[in-house]
């Protein structure tokens, strides 16, 4: 496994640890502009992943489900970038049913060339 792959696994584990700390307590839930839920865990993991990916591979910008609209609008100009979903399954996270994951992909010319999905086990 390449060093980048190892580093991505480590970053996904850091994100998972942060998620589980929040998962085990009462946590804040907010509404996005589209009325979908957003939790403090989504925000915490967003920052962990964005900061971690910027350190691992600063050549590539990061697009997150939680990115602001300014960043989202710039993505059309990017050939290669990180695409992340801090918590895929936020509604399931809120229900505390264990059906959620952390997703990280490196996108090049519209196709994923590297990816990791970290499903948390209970």
Domains of the chain (ranges plus CATH)? 3-119 (3.30.540.10)
Per-residue pLDDT of 38-67, as tens digits, reads: 999 999 999 999 999 999 999 999 999 999
List the chain residues with pLDDT less than 50: 122
Contacts of residue 3, defined as CB under 8 A and 6 or more positions apart, other chains included, come to none
pLDDT in the model for residue 63: 96
Alpha helices in the chain (DSSP H): 3-23, 40-56, 69-74, 90-95
pTM: 0.90
């Amino acid at each position: 496994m390449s060093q980048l792959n190892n580093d991505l696994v480590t970053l996904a584990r850091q994100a998972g640890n942060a998620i589980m700390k929040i998962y085990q307590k009462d946590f804040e839930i907010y509404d996005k502009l589209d009325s979908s839920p957003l939790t403090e865990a989504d925000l915490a993991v967003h920052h962990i992943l964005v900061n971690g990916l910027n350190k691992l591979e600063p050549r590539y910008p990061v697009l997150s489900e939680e990115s602001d609209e300014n960043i989202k609008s710039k993505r059309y100009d990017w050939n290669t970038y990180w695409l992340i979903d801090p918590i895929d399954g936020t509604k399931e996270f809120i229900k505390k049913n264990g059906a959620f994951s952390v997703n990280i992909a490196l996108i090049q010319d519209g196709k994923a060339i590297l990816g990791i999905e970290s499903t948390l086990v209970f």
